[in-house]
Amino acid sequence: MLWRVTVTAVAVLIAYLVQIPLEHEVPGEPFLLFSLVVISATLAFGSQAGFIAVALSTLLSFPFFEPRTSFSLIHAGDLIKIEIYAILGGGCVFAFSRLGKTLTALSDTNESLARLDKSRSLLLRETAHGVANNFATVAALLSMRSISVDDIEARRSLDEAVEQVKVMARVHRRLRARDQDVSLDSAAYIRELCDDLEEMAHGRPIVIECEADSLPLDMHQAVLLGLILNELVTNAVKHAFPGGRAGRIQVHLEALETRLRLSVEDDGVGIDGSSRTGADTGQGQALVLGLAHELEGNLELQSTASGSSFRLTFPAASSIGHTSTPGTASLGVCPSSATRLKRRE
């Protein structure tokens, strides 16, 4: 405390010494500079230092009034000025002392919020990591069970379920805190999905190219988008390149002002209603359309003998499927594609 009083007293004395030569050039009252010292001392050291500054500056104001360089006064009006300064100075100490306490409290609150946000982010990462591990365990169990299943269709269904569980695991691995919500980066998420899907096509001459804009996705969007992308790419790998032919699948996620668009294009054999009659493709279509409906999106298809293109456009708002009116998931098909949307072989 002593050093604060000393610093305050030195500051008042410096202000007094600075004003002595100024008084000869520009005669006037010394209260302005003294007031700045009082306010600074109050904000820096508290109300006690502020009152000390008021007392010292009030005393040192006397030599600036007639008779000069003396602590005596010959005009009653000068004494009134000094008294008014002392009263206003004390009021400033009260006001700025309260302001300083308020600023300190706000600073402490901000630090507490920062610590809370850091703790929340850490808890989120730990929880997300645990959930991702649980999903990975479920996927591993389903994979082991599919090995022992003799029925081909049942095994295929289990394998598809494994891929869908893995999508959810990827979402939780990449969750991060953002303001009052959690999100994940779309670019990293989509690229990771494409890398895993390309591993699924390992051993076949199929290239999966991926390009995605970097923007935040909430967990609801990410899960649905991942499941849709997984279904579209998996279907293309299985059916668009029969007979071991080479091919390319292009995945692109882009931002369109208030909407997002996911494109999945391949240079495969296209879609033809006369060539396939299996139920798996129809079930896949129903799944994609249902997920697109949850995203309030519009799914469009264009297909020719030289390839197919799926485009899913959906709102970028985080309230998808919760607070807004559900959209329609329609599947627009070009004239060369048949109604059942089967792959050409």
C-alpha distances out from residue 73 to 21, 31, 53, 85, Å: 20, 16, 21, 16
Query: Locate tokens 């009263």: which residue?
Result: 87
Cross-strand pairs, 221: none
- Count of Cβ atoms closer than 10 Å to residue 286 Cβ: 10
C-alpha distances out from residue 43 to 31, 86, 278, Å: 18, 18, 79
Structure tokens at 106: 């706000």
Structure tokens at 340: 């059942």
In this predicted structure, which of 64-73, 85-94, 140-149, 239-248 has the lowest mean pLDDT?
A: 64-73
List the one residue out of 247, 194, 271 whose CA is nearest residue 225.
194
Q: What is the mean pLDDT of residues 125-148?
A: 77
CB 308 within 8 A of CB 333: no
Q: Where are the domains positioned within the chain?
A: 2-110, 184-333
Whole-angstrom distance, CA of residue 226 vs CA of residue 319: 17
CB 314 within 8 A of CB 295: yes
Q: Residue 323's pLDDT band (boundaries 50, 70, 90)?
A: very low
Cα angle 41, 69, 89 (rounded to 5 degrees) comes to 25
Q: Residue 266's pLDDT band (boundaries 50, 70, 90)?
A: very high
Q: In the prediction, which pLDDT does 252 show?
A: 95
Cα angle 193, 198, 201 (rounded to 5 degrees) comes to 135
Whole-angstrom distance, CA of residue 80 vs CA of residue 91: 16
What is 184-333's CATH number, 1.10.3720.10, 3.40.1410.10, 3.30.565.10, 2.60.40.60?
A: 3.30.565.10
In this predicted structure, which of 63-77, 174-188, 266-280, 283-297 has the lowest mean pLDDT?
A: 266-280
Q: Is the pLDDT of residue 168 over 80?
A: no
Sign of CA dihedral 123, 126, 130, 135: positive
Whole-angstrom distance, CA of residue 342 vs CA of residue 277: 7
Choose between 181 and 166: higher pLDDT. Answer: 166
Q: Is the pLDDT of residue 104 over 90?
A: no
Encode pLDDT of 26-75 as tens digits. Answer: 566 778 888 888 888 888 888 888 888 888 988 888 887 777 767 777 77
Q: Is the pLDDT of residue 236 over 70?
A: yes
Encode pLDDT of 242-263 as tens digits. Answer: 888 889 999 999 998 888 999 9
pTM of the model: 0.55
List the one residue out of 329, 341, 338, 332 whose CA is nearest residue 284.
341
In this predicted structure, which of 194-208, 217-231, 264-278 has the lowest mean pLDDT?
A: 264-278
What H or E segment, with its residue span, contains residue 202?
Answer: none
Q: In the prediction, which pLDDT does 330 show?
A: 47
Q: In the prediction, which pLDDT does 251 show?
A: 95
CB 229 within 8 A of CB 284: no
Whole-angstrom distance, CA of residue 206 vs CA of residue 200: 10
Q: Residue 238's pLDDT band (boundaries 50, 70, 90)?
A: confident
Q: What is the mean pLDDT of residues 109-126?
A: 74
Q: Is the pLDDT of residue 126 over 80?
A: no
